[in-house]
């Protein structure tokens, strides 16, 4: 009789475990998911679907402008694999010190369908290679 009770505990634990995993999977795949795209993929996507997205690319040498009033920047984001594809990005907030032409950046925000400008709420620059460990041979 003791073995039947032991099996019940294992079955209950298994059911709880599977329910927990199911909940985590369901909560991880929501409508509010953030897409991670390069510039070419963003341009190929309907602007209405880019309400919340994360884009990556390089800052173009031309077109960097300060946003007024307050801190911020407007710039062209280049596709890393196809530099002919660009997207205008506007960011309001503190601009990282490492932000410059040619820098690799990640921006998070949404597309303004009226203007066609990506309105970024987050701007992150990739650390320059001078901070990476040198190969000493």
Query: What string of DSSP letters covers 40-64?
Result: HHHHHS-GGG-SSEEEEEEE-SS--
Is the peptide bond prior to 69 cis by the omega test (within 30 degrees of 0)? yes
CB 51 within 8 A of CB 111: yes
Q: Model's pTM, two decimal places?
A: 0.68
Q: Say yes or no to pLDDT of 132 above 70.
A: no
Give Cα 74 distance to the centre of its chain: 18
**Mean pLDDT across 110-134:** 81
pLDDT tens-place string over residues 118-129 = 999 999 998 755
Mean predicted lDDT score pLDDT of the chain:
84
Give CA–CA dist 65/8, Å, rounded. Answer: 67
pLDDT tens-place string over residues 59-78 = 999 989 998 888 999 999 99
Give Cα 39 distance to the centre of its chain: 12
């Amino acid at each position: 009789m003791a073995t039947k009770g032991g099996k019940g505990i294992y079955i209950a634990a298994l059911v709880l475990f599977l329910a927990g995993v199911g909940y985590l999977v369901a909560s991880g795949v929501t409508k509010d998911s953030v897409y991670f795209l390069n510039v070419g993929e963003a341009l190929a996507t309907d602007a209405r679907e880019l309400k919340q997205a994360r884009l990556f690319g390089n800052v173009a040498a031309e077109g960097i402008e300060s946003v007024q009033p307050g801190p911020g920047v407007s710039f062209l984001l280049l596709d890393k694999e196809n530099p002919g594809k660009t997207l205008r990005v506007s960011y309001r907030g503190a601009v990282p010190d490492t932000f410059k032409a040619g820098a690799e950046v990640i921006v998070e925000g949404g597309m303004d369908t009226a203007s066609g400008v990506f309105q970024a709420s987050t701007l992150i620059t990739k650390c320059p290679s001078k901070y990476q460990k040198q190969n000493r041979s």
